[in-house]
Structure 1
Amino acid sequence: MTKPAIDVKGLVKIYGSRTVVDNVDLTIMPGRICGFLGPNGSGKTTTLRMICGLLTPDAGSGTCLGHDIITERDAVKVQAGYMTQRFGLYEDLTIRENLEFVGRLYRLRDLRRRVDESLDRLGLATRQHQLTGSLSGGWKQRLALAACVLHEPKLLLLDEPTAGVDPKARRAFWDEIHALAAQGITVLVSTHYMDEAERCHEIAYIAYGKLMARGTTQEIITQSGLHAMVATGPGADRLAPQLRDAPGITAAAAFGTTLHVCSPDPTALARAVEPYRREGLTWEEAEPTLEDVFIHLMGQAQDNALAA
């Protein structure tokens, strides 16, 4: 049987009086794309760094690419590519010069060929002599990914890689991620975009240091136990403020001219919408969205900054 690319248990990281990562277990098989979601400050970046050997856990254990994440950190780093939230390459170098610099850090053989292949793969060849500082966010993102895969890693750890990038560039980025996964590369990617989460093979949701949900999109929605109703008709979207604070309601949000209302209690949901059943307004049962589930999970989690 194929062994997991990532297999960690009980990961804990504490800063001062705050437990940033609290007993997190995560197993990901080779070639899978796992979306890592959660509110800001929930420990996603810290978890990524512990997995790839950049941070040592205060508790817990596990392996990454078959290597112990505590005693064999250097071996993990050699086989992993890590793309940080902030662009970390040199803006006063050209695209090609940045990739050559990264290649020399990894002591890659046949560097020119490896750089040429990376430039071609990410569509950067025609811009290879352009200064990096003059690139748009989407092109910087491509360059950062090219640098991550230059040494042909078996694992990619991507920390909110598409933040601030336009939809076309995001789609091109995700097409490339799926192409890399098809070659057997494992991907763990943190994101705040629900459409990106739905493009992952599986999802892990962390809130304030605790892992709250794990599985495919459909599994997480089903396991949430949430019920939803959608209202359509004149003024439906304007009812969100009234319903949001109704007893038992976890979310009430406008989507265009429609209203989406959710609750884990179908009786409470029916009771909440009953006063708003009127002529011209249609209420229908619907499946909760991934966003509904995550808002519900956030409401159940305790902010570890407040607890500290």
Structure 2
Amino acid sequence: MSGHVDPAMGAPERQANADDVIDVAGLTKRYGDKTVVDGLSMRVRRGEIYGFLGPNGSGKTTSIRMMCGLLTPDAGQGHTLGYDVVKEAAAIKREVGYMTQRFGLYDDLSIRENLDFVARVYGMDRRRERVDQALSRLGLEGRQKQLAGSLSGGWKQRLALAACMLHEPRLLLLDEPTAGVDPKARRDFWDEIHHLARQGITVLVSTHYMDEAERCHRLGYIAYGRLLAMGTPAELVRGSALSTWTIAGEGAGELADALEAAPGVEMVTRFGNALHVSGADEARLAAAVAPYRERAGLRFEHGEPALEDVFIHLMRQSADNFPGGGR
């Protein structure tokens, strides 16, 4: 797979690059006898939107917290925004905006009052100017007097992002920021993220949504504490070594059980009235599909897997290889 990480080979020799906002090698975090993050090495460039994907408990949040100075790694080294992640954690935190999936502002304060409160707590200069800019940037001016507790999930998300931007950070770390938000609000949020990236702000975002993953410049897939693959969405699809048949039409779902048991089929994914049937051996996969190709009302198409197919495949591969837990 393009960008595949082979732990046996170790981390490659690393050379400093002025465009690297995050450059870490061998980051490790343990809780008791469990290794939550195991030798994480990665780079994120300036102005890049880097997507962090993986199953629940894979170590994504712990990795993000180590990179932004909120957790001290047990092993490993690296820099974020030019600061040492171990020795200069406090300096990193001053220049990072960190947005969690939980809304952490005050329901009984208005939008403006929440932003002004955050600016006061952190002793920011130009407080009114910063709040005005945040309101304008996130389209909150018309609602600035509305109580935060009365906002929908999408508007709360905008407010949380506005609060993250008050101190003009160079790096945004977004931990599943769109959980529970409707599709239109998610689209609007991502339009804003791309606008920020064009201004040179770097974004590291963890997500479970495949449509969001496809909006990232590059992706990393982490499972059970190990980074298994990284690259652009197109590189990950091309390098997956998967061949996929799409079977569509009424009755396609009735073939799922039989195909899952067929030699050469590694994965069957259901999409409404369609199936994605995937496997690494193209010839064996074609032989498994062949007996059903003459069925009336079904359409068969051979091609590349979808990004979701690739990540489900990685998840299934990793589950037995790295038992344990993550956070």
TM (norm. structure 1) is 0.96
Offset at 1:120? 1.2
Offset at 1:303? 5.7
Counterpart among 217, 223, 235 of residue 207 in structure 1: 223
**Structure 2 residue matching 1:145: 3-state secondary structure:** helix
Task: Report whether the alignment pairs 1:79 with 2:134.
Answer: no
Partner of 2:211: 195
Offset at 1:305? 8.2
Counterparts of 2:321 and 2:283, CA distance in 1: 32
Amino acid at match of 1:287: E
Amino acid at match of 1:64: T
Counterparts of 1:282 and 1:96, CA distance in 2: 55
Amino acid at match of 2:311: F
Counterparts of 2:91 and 2:277, CA distance in 1: 49
TM (norm. structure 2) is 0.90
Counterpart among 21, 44, 63 of residue 37 in structure 2: 21
Counterpart among 278, 284, 292 of residue 294 in structure 2: 278
Answer yes or no: is the 8 Å Cα contact 2:224–2:324 preserved in 1. Answer: no
Offset at 1:277? 2.4
User: Which runs of 5 or more residues in structure 2 are unaligned?
Assistant: 1-16
Partner of 1:269: 285
Answer yes or no: is the 8 Å Cα contact 1:13–1:58 preserved in 2. Answer: yes
**Structure 1 residue matching 2:20: 3-state secondary structure:** coil
Task: Report whether the alignment pairs 1:170 with 2:186.
Answer: yes
Partner of 1:294: 311
Task: Tell me: higher relative CO, structure 1 or 2? Use CA pairs within 8 A at least 6 residues apart.
Answer: 2
Answer yes or no: is the 8 Å Cα contact 1:83–1:157 preserved in 2. Answer: yes
Answer yes or no: is the 8 Å Cα contact 1:209–1:304 preserved in 2. Answer: no
Counterpart among 240, 243, 246 of residue 230 in structure 1: 246
Q: Deviations over 1:20-55 (max 9, x none)?
A: 111111101100000111111100000000000000
Counterparts of 2:52 and 2:223, CA distance in 1: 11
Answer yes or no: is the 8 Å Cα contact 2:224–2:323 preserved in 1. Answer: no
Q: Give the share of equivalent positions with the same residue, in percent.
A: 62
Counterparts of 1:202 and 1:248, CA distance in 2: 30
Offset at 1:3? 3.1
Counterpart among 56, 63, 69 of residue 85 in structure 2: 69
User: Which runs of 5 or more residues in structure 1 are unaligned?
Assistant: none
**Structure 1 residue matching 2:24: 3-state secondary structure:** strand
Greater shift in the superposed pair: 243-252 or 80-89:
243-252
CA RMSD of aligned residues (A): 1.6
Q: Deviations over 1:151-208 (max 9, x none)?
A: 1000000000011111111111000000000010000000001010000111011111
* Distance change in 2, residues 1:227/1:134 (3 Å): same
Partner of 2:54: 38
Offset at 1:107? 1.7
Counterparts of 1:3 and 1:179, CA distance in 2: 19
Q: How many residues align?
A: 308
**Structure 2 residue matching 1:100: 3-state secondary structure:** helix
Counterparts of 1:146 and 1:303, CA distance in 2: 41
Partner of 2:104: 88
